[in-house]
Structure 1
Amino acid sequence: MGDLILSFPLVLWLERTYPGHPIWVVAEEKFFRPLMNVSPRVYYFPWEGVNALLQNRYELIINLSIRNEAAKLAGELDAEAKLGPVVLENGATHIFGNWQLYRASVVENNRHNLFHWADLNALDCIPLGSIAQTTWPQPRTLHKDSNRIGLFLGASEEAKRPSVKFWADLCAELLKRGLRPVLFGGPMEQGMGQEVAGLFKGPVLDMCGKLNLAELIAVGQSLQLFITPDTGPMHLAAWSGMKVLNLSMGNVNPWETGPYQSDHYVLRSTMSCALGCWSCRRDKLYCHSPFTPSRIAVAAKRIIVEDRAGLSKMNMPGLRMALSSRNDDGLYFLDQKSGSRSQAVDSLGRFWQQFFGALFGLWDMEQAASVWMELAGQNPLLAHKMEAHLPRLGKEFSRGLARSKTLDDSFWNSCPLILRQFTGFIHLFLQNNDYNRHSWIQVLSYYEQLAALISQS
C-alpha cells in the first residue's frame, strides 16, 4: 500500500505532462480499492484483468514493481517507450531509464542514497522543473484545545515497529501531558491493540481492526498528531493531511520512504549501522533503544504547540529529529532539527546525489564539485581514501573494455564503502547492457567524470 501511495505524485505529474491521456494502473486490488477515494484520477486494473490491457497501444509504460510478472507484462504490452524492468523477447530482463536503474542499484546499497522513492519514480519521465514547482498542502493543524494523538501500532516487519510495552508506556507519558492516545491498526494489529490497552490500564480508545482506510482518514482529521512507524498508513496519513511523527526504526531509510509531503517529523537512530540497513544481523534491535516513550511524548507535545525552537533544543542522545522539506533543486530533503550530525556521511550523501544528478542531466557538475571540495576540506582522510582507490577502478574498467570481460559478482561491494554508491550502479549498468562494448565505453566516461572531480582536492 505504501508503494502505491508513493506513486500518487508521479500520477499527478503525468496528468500535467500528458494532458488528456488516460492513466491506467495495474495493482493489487486489496491495496487500490480502499484508496480509490483519495487516489488521483486513474483507471485501476487488478492483476486478474491484465489481459484486457494487451488490446491497446500505449505512449508510455512505467513499471515500478520488482515482481517478475510485472516485468513480463511490461514486455508484452505495446508502447512507444518503456521505463523500469521489462522482460525482452529473448527472455532477459532489461531495466529502462537511468533513474530506474539507479534505484535498482541501491538495493542493499543505500547507505549514501538521498533520493526519495517518489522522486525516483518520476525523474526519468517528468522534468525536474515540474517536480520543483509542485507545492503540497501543509499538514492540518487543529485548534490547540484538541488533544487526541493517534498511534499506529503495526508495520510489515517486527524490526520496523515498537513493542507492545513501548506503546503502553507512551500512552501513559502522553496522558501525563494532557494528551489522549488513540490506538490504530488493521486487522493484524487487533490483538496488539488489546495487549497495549490491557498493559496501559488507563483511558485509551482502541480502534485497531475497526476502521477501513476511508474511515481512518476521516477519523484522522480529528487528531493533532499521528505517531507511526514506516508503514503504508503513515504515507496515507501524510497524503490526507494528518501531521505525522515518523518513528523510523529498523531496516528502513527515511530519505527513501519517509513522509513525502513537507513539514512532517522523522526520528531516526544515529547508529552507523542504521544507515543502509536491510536486515539486522545483531543479537537484538539496538536501534530501538533510544526511542523512549518519555522522549516521544515530549516531542509530540512540542510538535502540537508548534514549539520548533524547543524541539531543536531537545537532548535525545542516539536520535536525530528531522523535518521533511525540499532542497534547492526541489527534491525531497530531511532538514535536521536536533541530534548529532555524522558530517562525513551527510557530505557523502550530498556528493553522490549531486554527482548522479549531474550524470543524468538534472544539473551541471559544478554543484557536485562544490560539495566535494567541502567534503575534502572537512574530511581529508576520507577524501584521500577515495582518491587512492580510483586508479584501481580505472585499471579494472580499462581491462574490461580491452577484453570485453565481465566483473565478479563481488565487485561492487568489495570496494570501499565510500565508493559503493558508484560501483553498485556501474556493476548493474554493465550487467543490464550485457557488458557490451558501448556500455564499457560509457562506464569509462562516468569514471573519468568522477576522477576529474575528486582530483581537484
Structure 2
Amino acid sequence: MSSQRPILILQMQRMGDLILSYPLVLWLSRRYPGRPIWMMAEELFYKQLMQVNPGGVTFFPWAERSLAHLRSHKYELVINLSHDPRAAALAGQVESEEVFGPVSGEDGLRYIRGDWALYRASLVRSNRHNRFHWADLNALDVVSLDDIATTNWSVPRTITKVASRKVGLFLGASQEAKRPSVGFWQKLGSELLKRDLRPVLLGGPAEVELAQQVARGIPARVINFAGQQTLAELAYIGQTLGMMVTPDTGPMHLAAWTGLRTLNLSMGNVNCWETGPYQAGHFVLRARMSCSGCWHCHRARTYCHDHFLPRQVAFIIDRINQKEQECFAKRRLPDLELMETGQSRQGLYSLKSIAPAADPSARELLGLFWQQYWGARFGLWPMDEASSAFSDIYQQYPRMRDAMRGGLVRLSRDLRRGLTPGGGRTISDDFWHASSPALQPARSYCQLYLENGDMAPSAWAGCLGLVEELLDLM
C-alpha cells in the first residue's frame, strides 16, 4: 500500500455525473503518479461500472463504516463535486492540504473553495452563456489546462457494415421534459426501418412500460432490451451497435465514454455545452430557438420538442451513420442545429456547428466572450483573448457595447453601496437577475462571491474589481 497521502473525490450525484468525473481521475493519476485516489460515490452506480472506470481508483459507498475509515486519514487533496450537504460536511471534517468545492464547518456554515467551483455554483439559474463543460469544470481547480488540452480521447469506433445498421434508442431521461414523447419514438423507429436501419430499444427499469408502448407502435418486431440489462451489460450491448440516439441522460455519457457514437437529442431544460457527450466525434442536435439550453422552462409547454420531426431526425441519423454529416453544411437544417463534439483551440470541450451561420448570433458571441473572460480571470490564458472576443461583439452588434457598459455601471453603483458607511451590506435573492441576460454571468458570480465572502468589505471590493476589469475590456 502506498505511503503517500490519498486524494479524495466526493461524487454523490447521479450516474452521468459519476462518468463525467472519470476524466478527472485520469488526469489526477497522471499528475500524481502512484498516489492513491479514493472516491466516495453512489454504490448503485459505481459497482455496475467497475469494468469501464478509468482504473486506479478505490470506491467507497456512503455508509458509516466508510465514513469512519475516510475520517481517519489525512489527504493531499479533497475535491467535493457534490451539492449534497453530507458531502460538504465530510469535506470539512477530514484533514487535507487542500480542499476544493463546497465545505461545511462545525457551525454548519457552508463555503465554496476554488475559483472554478464557485463559478460553477454561480451557474444555477444563470447558465445561458456558459461554455464550460461539467467534465472540464470538475478538473480546472486542480488540473492544468495543458493536461486537459493534450489528452487525446479515442474517436468513436467503427464496426462492420451490417452491425452499424443497428441503432440504439435510449428512451428515457431524468425528467420528462428532457426526453421525446412515445409518439416521436414510434415514428422515429418506423422511419429508421424505411432506411434499412434496425432500431434497438434501450432503457432502465423506469423505461420498461415506455419501451413496450414504443414497440407496439413500430410496424415490425424490434429488439427491446429496456429493463433487462445492467449498466455493464448496456456498455457491452453498445459494442454491437452502430450508434446510440439518446436524450441527455447518464447512459449517453456511458456510451460516449465506451466509444459508441452518440447523437444527443438535446431538448428541454438542458444545456448541451455543459452536459453533452464529452469525448470528440459525437453529435448534438438541438432546436434553433433563442431559449435553447435553458435552466428551467417557463413556458406553457416545451415548444423545443416541436422542432424534432421523426422523419428529419431519421435522415440525420442515416447521414451520420454513413459518415456523410457534412452534407448538412450545404443544406442547413431550418429548425434544428447539428453540432459535433471536439476540442477548442485552447483545448477545452467545444461544439462545432456543422452549418454555422454566416453571421454569428449575439448569443453565440456572448457565450464565447464570457468563456474567454472567465478563463482569463482565473489564469488559463491572457486577458487579450477576452478583449478580442468582445471586439467581435462590438463589430457585429455595436449597440450592445453601450448596453453592457450601462449595465456594468449600474452593477458598480450597487456594489459601491457595500463599501459606503451606512450603505448596507446585504443583497436581495434576485440580485443576479437585475440586468439583461448578457450581464447575468457577472451579477450571478458577484452574488455568490459576496455570499461566500460573508459580505465582508474585501468581498465587495473584489466584485468591484471584476466590474472595473470588464469596463476596461469594453
User: What is the TM-score of this pair, normalised by structure 1?
Assistant: 0.97
Pick which of 337-346 and 71-80 moved more: 337-346
Distance in 1 between residues matched to 2:432 and 2:283, nearest whole Å: 34
Identify the residue that residue 199 of structure 1 maps to in structure 2: 217
Pick which of 265-274 and 55-64 moved more: 265-274
> Which stretches in structure 1 are left out of the alignment for 5+ residues?
none
Identify the residue that residue 251 of structure 1 maps to in structure 2: 269
Instruction: Write the letter of the residue equivalent to 1:408.
Output: S
Identify the residue that residue 287 of structure 1 maps to in structure 2: 304
The answer as to 2:360 corresponding to 1:345 is: no
| Counterpart selection for 1:140 from 136, 149, 157 | 157
Identify the residue that residue 46 of structure 1 maps to in structure 2: 61
Distance in 1 between residues matched to 2:177 and 2:242, nearest whole Å: 27
Distance in 2 between residues matched to 1:317 and 1:31, nearest whole Å: 39
Identify the residue that residue 464 of structure 2 maps to in structure 1: 444
Distance in 2 between residues matched to 1:84 and 1:264, nearest whole Å: 30
Distance in 2 between residues matched to 1:123 and 1:301, nearest whole Å: 37
Instruction: Write the letter of the residue equivalent to 2:411.
Output: L
Once the two structures are TM-superposed, the CA of residue 375 in structure 1 deviates from its matched residue by 0.5
Pick which of 436-445 and 342-351 moved more: 436-445
Distance in 2 between residues matched to 1:369 and 1:10, nearest whole Å: 30
Q: What SS does the corresponding residue of 1:338 show, helix, strand or coil?
A: coil
The answer as to 2:207 corresponding to 1:189 is: yes
Instruction: Write the letter of the residue equivalent to 1:203.
Output: R
The answer as to 2:82 corresponding to 1:61 is: no
Instruction: Write the letter of the residue equivalent to 1:428.
Output: L
| Counterpart selection for 1:175 from 185, 188, 193 | 193
Once the two structures are TM-superposed, the CA of residue 132 in structure 1 deviates from its matched residue by 0.5
Aligned residue pair count: 453
Identify the residue that residue 127 of structure 1 maps to in structure 2: 144
| Counterpart selection for 2:91 from 65, 69, 74 | 74
| Counterpart selection for 1:333 from 350, 362, 386 | 350
Instruction: Write the letter of the residue equivalent to 2:27.
Output: W
Q: Deviations over 1:40-93 (max 9, x none)?
A: 221111001222101100011100001111101111111111000000233210
Q: What SS does the corresponding residue of 2:82 show, helix, strand or coil?
A: coil
Q: What SS does the corresponding residue of 2:432 show, helix, strand or coil?
A: helix
| Residues 338/185 of structure 1: CA separation in 2 closer, same or farther (3 Å cut) | same
Identify the residue that residue 453 of structure 1 maps to in structure 2: 473
The answer as to 2:296 corresponding to 1:274 is: no
Identify the residue that residue 235 of structure 1 maps to in structure 2: 253
Once the two structures are TM-superposed, the CA of residue 436 in structure 1 deviates from its matched residue by 1.2
Once the two structures are TM-superposed, the CA of residue 313 in structure 1 deviates from its matched residue by 3.2
Pick which of 203-212 and 337-346 moved more: 337-346
Q: Deviations over 1:247-288 (max 9, x none)?
A: 00001100000000001000011211223x223222222100
Q: What SS does the corresponding residue of 2:367 show, helix, strand or coil?
A: helix
Identify the residue that residue 442 of structure 2 maps to in structure 1: 422
Contact persistence 2:190–2:219 (CA under 8 A): no
Distance in 1 between residues matched to 2:332 and 2:222, nearest whole Å: 29
Distance in 2 between residues matched to 1:375 and 1:273, nearest whole Å: 20
Distance in 1 between residues matched to 2:206 and 2:107, nearest whole Å: 42
| Counterpart selection for 1:30 from 44, 53, 58 | 44
Q: Deviations over 1:229-260 (max 9, x none)?
A: 00000000000000000000001100000000
> Which stretches in structure 2 are left out of the alignment for 5+ residues?
1-14
Instruction: Write the letter of the residue equivalent to 2:93.
Output: E
Once the two structures are TM-superposed, the CA of residue 304 in structure 1 deviates from its matched residue by 1.0
| Residues 337/217 of structure 1: CA separation in 2 closer, same or farther (3 Å cut) | same
**Structure 2 matches for 1:352-391, cutoff 5 A?**
352-391=370-409
| Counterpart selection for 2:333 from 316, 319, 326 | 316
Once the two structures are TM-superposed, the CA of residue 445 in structure 1 deviates from its matched residue by 1.6
Instruction: Write the letter of the residue equivalent to 2:208.
Output: Q
Once the two structures are TM-superposed, the CA of residue 401 in structure 1 deviates from its matched residue by 2.0
Q: What SS does the corresponding residue of 1:223 show, helix, strand or coil?
A: coil
Instruction: Write the letter of the residue equivalent to 1:98.
Output: D
Distance in 2 between residues matched to 1:204 and 1:184, nearest whole Å: 11
State the 4+ residue runs in structure 1 displaced beyond 6 angstroms: none
Q: What percent identity do the matched residue pairs reach?
A: 49
Q: What SS does the corresponding residue of 1:210 show, helix, strand or coil?
A: coil
Contact persistence 1:184–1:208 (CA under 8 A): yes
| Residues 10/428 of structure 1: CA separation in 2 closer, same or farther (3 Å cut) | same
Instruction: Write the letter of the residue equivalent to 1:264.
Output: H
Once the two structures are TM-superposed, the CA of residue 381 in structure 1 deviates from its matched residue by 1.7
Once the two structures are TM-superposed, the CA of residue 213 in structure 1 deviates from its matched residue by 1.2
Once the two structures are TM-superposed, the CA of residue 396 in structure 1 deviates from its matched residue by 2.0
Once the two structures are TM-superposed, the CA of residue 339 in structure 1 deviates from its matched residue by 6.6
Instruction: Write the letter of the residue equivalent to 1:33.
Output: K
Q: What SS does the corresponding residue of 1:95 show, helix, strand or coil?
A: strand
Distance in 1 between residues matched to 2:393 and 2:356, nearest whole Å: 20
Q: What SS does the corresponding residue of 2:291 show, helix, strand or coil?
A: helix
| Counterpart selection for 1:296 from 290, 313, 326 | 313
The answer as to 2:231 corresponding to 1:213 is: yes
Once the two structures are TM-superposed, the CA of residue 317 in structure 1 deviates from its matched residue by 2.1
Distance in 2 between residues matched to 1:378 and 1:201, nearest whole Å: 50
Give the RMSD, CA atoms, in angstroms: 1.3
Distance in 1 between residues matched to 2:215 and 2:407, nearest whole Å: 56
Distance in 1 between residues matched to 2:198 and 2:262, nearest whole Å: 16
Instruction: Write the letter of the residue equivalent to 2:130.
Output: N
Distance in 2 between residues matched to 1:129 and 1:140, nearest whole Å: 26
Distance in 2 between residues matched to 1:367 and 1:311, nearest whole Å: 30
Contact persistence 2:131–2:367 (CA under 8 A): yes
Instruction: Write the letter of the residue equivalent to 2:456.
Output: N
Once the two structures are TM-superposed, the CA of residue 142 in structure 1 deviates from its matched residue by 1.9
Instruction: Write the letter of the residue equivalent to 1:322.
Output: M
User: What is the TM-score of this pair, normalised by structure 2?
Assistant: 0.93
Distance in 1 between residues matched to 2:229 and 2:428, nearest whole Å: 51
Identify the residue that residue 415 of structure 2 maps to in structure 1: 397
Contact persistence 1:183–1:207 (CA under 8 A): yes
| Counterpart selection for 2:168 from 119, 143, 150 | 150
Once the two structures are TM-superposed, the CA of residue 201 in structure 1 deviates from its matched residue by 3.1
Pick which of 386-395 and 102-111 moved more: 386-395
Q: Deviations over 1:373-412 (max 9, x none)?
A: 1111101122221012222222222221233622222211
Q: Deviations over 1:317-350 (max 9, x none)?
A: 2211000010011000000113757610000000
